[in-house]
């Protein structure tokens, strides 16, 4: 559900039941001891009680410090909370998005249906980020809750209060932020759905639905077409499941001649049992999240349609289930590929790189200026970087610098990892052109080196391993527990940077 967000000037305490949150930068001491606006006006309304509480609790406005008063006026039944933003010069986009998301999440948890958020006038030019944060923070996945478990209320309305005027341009930025937040929430919904609902076909159909709603071109390949086109590695991974593989190609074309073309590829394993190299039972239920790379691209393309960049954008979703039946592929198999290379299978639980190999071979034919894939690919990446940071690999420093800039501008956490050439020995095969996986040491790197075998003569390629942050055990920043949509904001920033 999209929030209804409006803006006004005036007394922020001119409400009755809803909570009021006032976000302030660090309080700078003055000779007179006077509070800055809007705290000064609020304190006057409260006959000096706010100033006394601030002094008593030693509130300084440092980032995410908070101070609360219950029913501060005779007519107001809600709570007044002061939240610190920290130093204005150090407030980055990710910080602002995280703070506004936490404010919305807190209101949601307190069963508030409406919220008044008072913001410094300095933030009127950052309304896109605020809109993103509020939408992302208000997100909940409640589709399968019934009876007493079904939430009785939800946050529906947010009123922003500024001292200055709210212009038409400000409204457009706020609406854009909301649309981007809603697009990411679409990805979260897909990632939180159970695997009996989100099958490979259902995931590509969801992409098709988003494309149709946003005026994008969509082409879907069923299993028969996948086999016909020679995507043998996709066939290998998916042939052991009753829910056969599915493939989608979405295209956004700008109204005028595009400056650049970027192609995104996403791994969509809608459930990963490990195949014949079956996973242990603990944690297998979370393997519904192995479609996060492809799921990201559904939300990304909805966000691209809202942004309307002067860049041609393609999204390639390659989707399958990795299941162990009598027709499943086996360790020891040798399979061909769309690229033409033969691949020795050593572990059926390293299936994602096989899907991506065929998808990259397909994507490279679009001759992009930049080719990007994203996938929940390796546990080794989580061991290296934890659960809140992704790894990325690049074929050259130019591509790495461009991508790192997008990471910085988005506020997400990603770290460049090396393509160590000496580890390439680990994917050499005695019986085929390449081996699917090396040993456990440097596992994220050897996976990236394997994928590089299938990009052909593509000069600029970035591989993103989102295994850690794609599905969280607890909320972090603007991301909730469960599917996060991590990566979409970086990809969107990347697209915007390619317009310049």
Catalytic residues: 279, 353
Q: How far apart are CA 100 and CA 478, in angstroms?
A: 8
| 57 Cβ neighbours under 8 A, 6+ residues apart | 67
DSSP 105-132: HHHHHTT-SEEEEE--GGGTT-HHHHHH
Q: How far apart are CA 389 and CA 135, in angstroms?
A: 22
**Contact indicator for 12, 81 with CB cutoff of 8 Å:** no
CA angle 99, 416, 351 (to 5 degrees): 100
Q: Which residue has the tokens 């990566």?
A: 487
Q: How far apart are CA 118 and CA 163, in angstroms?
A: 9
Task: Tell me if residue 281 falls in helix, strand or coil.
Answer: coil
Both tokens of residue 204? 């590509």
| DSSP 8-state symbol, 248 | E
Q: 324, 296, 353, 332: which is closest to 238 by C-alpha?
A: 324
Q: Peptide bond before 314: cis, by omega within 30 degrees of 0?
A: no
| DSSP 8-state symbol, 457 | T
Task: Tell me if residue 35 falls in helix, strand or coil.
Answer: coil
Helix (H) or strand (E) holding 267: strand 261-272
């Amino acid at each position: 559900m999209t929030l209804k967000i409006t803006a006004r000037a005036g007394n922020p305490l001119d409400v009755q039941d809803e909570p009021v949150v006032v976000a302030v930068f660090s309080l700078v001491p003055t000779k007179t001891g006077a509070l800055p606006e809007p705290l000064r006006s609020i304190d006057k309304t409260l006959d000096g009680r706010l100033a006394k509480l601030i002094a008593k609790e030693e509130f300084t406005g440092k980032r995410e410090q908070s101070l609360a008063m219950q029913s501060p006026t005779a007519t107001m039944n809600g709570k007044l909370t002061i939240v610190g933003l920290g130093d204005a010069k150090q407030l980055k986009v990710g910080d602002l998005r995280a703070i506004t998301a936490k404010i919305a999440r807190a209101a949601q948890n307190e069963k508030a249906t409406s919220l008044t958020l008072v913001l410094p006038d300095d933030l009127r030019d950052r309304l896109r980020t605020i809109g993103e944060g509020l939408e992302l923070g208000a997100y909940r996945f409640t589709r399968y809750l019934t009876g007493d478990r079904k939430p009785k209320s939800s946050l529906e309305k947010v009123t922003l209060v500024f001292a200055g005027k709210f212009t038409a341009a400000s409204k457009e930025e706020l609406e854009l932020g909301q649309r981007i937040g809603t697009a990411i929430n679409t990805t979260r919904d897909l990632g939180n759905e159970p695997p009996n609902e989100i099958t490979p076909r259902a995931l590509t159909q969801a992409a098709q639905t988003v494309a149709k709603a946003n005026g994008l071109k969509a082409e879907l390949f069923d299993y028969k077409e996948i086999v016909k086109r020679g995507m043998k590695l996709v066939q290998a991974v998916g042939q052991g499941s009753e829910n056969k593989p599915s493939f989608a190609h979405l295209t956004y074309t700008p109204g005028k001649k595009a400056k650049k073309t970027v192609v995104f590829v996403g791994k969509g394993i809608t459930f990963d049992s490990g195949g014949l190299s079956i996973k242990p039972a603990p944690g297998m239920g979370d393997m519904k999240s192995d479609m996060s790379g492809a799921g990201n691209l559904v939300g990304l393309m909805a966000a691209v349609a809202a942004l309307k960049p002067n860049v041609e954008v393609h999204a390639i979703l390659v989707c399958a289930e990795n299941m162990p039946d009598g027709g499943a592929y086996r360790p020891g198999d040798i399979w061909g590929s769309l690229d033409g290379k033969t691949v020795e299978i050593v572990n059926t639980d390293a299936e994602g790189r096989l899907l991506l190999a065929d998808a990259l071979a397909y994507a490279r034919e679009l001759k992009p200026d930049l080719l990007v894939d994203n996938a929940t690919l390796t546990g080794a990446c989580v061991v290296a970087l934890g659960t809140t940071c992704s790894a990325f690999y690049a074929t050259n420093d130019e591509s790495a610098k461009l991508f790192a800039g997008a990471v910085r501008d988005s506020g997400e956490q990603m770290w460049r990892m090396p393509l160590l050439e000496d580890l390439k020995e680990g994917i050499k095969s005695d019986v085929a052109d390449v081996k699917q996986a090396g040993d456990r040491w440097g596992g994220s790197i050897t996976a990236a080196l394997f994928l590089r075998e299938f990009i052909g003569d593509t000069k600029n390629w970035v591989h993103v391993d989102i295994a850690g942050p794609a599905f969280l055990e607890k909320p972090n920043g603007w991301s909730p527990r469960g599917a996060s949509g991590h990566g979409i904001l970086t990809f969107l920033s990347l697209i915007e940077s390619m317009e310049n």
